[in-house]
């Protein structure tokens, strides 16, 4: 797999069938008590939800439309990375 934001990613996917993945960054907003998903790979991806499972579901529903709008290759997958920021004690 090859990350979407890496050089030549769309060319490798289009001409050689290389499978691409999208890195999704997830943060817990402790103040608002919601998880927030963003991605440097997909312009416009900003989603929040009360639970991590709900967030994954919402992202998976939104990605196909965002991929179409961005004219990105269809050979994309998602990779969730979680960043849980805890305040020092």
Q: What is the pLDDT of residue 80?
A: 60
pLDDT tens-digit readout, 14-63 = 888 888 888 889 999 989 999 999 988 888 899 999 999 999 899 989 98
Q: Are strands 20-29 and 34-38 parallel, antiparallel or unpaired?
A: antiparallel
Give the pLDDT confidence score for residue 54 in this predicted structure.
94
Specify the pLDDT at position 85.
40
Sign of the four-CA dihedral 37, 40, 41, 46:
positive
Which tokens is 55 given?
């967030």
pTM of the model: 0.77
Query: Taking the alpha carbons of 57, 49, 36, 39 in that order, is the dihedral positive or negative?
Result: positive
Encode pLDDT of 57-82 as tens digits.
999 899 888 888 877 777 777 666 65
């Amino acid at each position: 797999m090859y990350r979407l934001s890496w050089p030549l990613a769309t060319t490798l996917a289009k001409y050689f069938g290389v499978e691409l993945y999208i890195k999704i960054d997830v943060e817990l907003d402790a103040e608002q008590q919601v998880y927030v998903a963003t991605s440097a790979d997909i312009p416009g991806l900003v989603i929040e939800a009360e639970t991590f499972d709900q967030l994954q579901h919402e992202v998976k529903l939104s990605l196909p439309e965002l991929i179409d709008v961005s004219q990105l290759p269809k050979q994309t997958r998602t990779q969730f990375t979680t960043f849980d920021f805890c305040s020092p004690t």
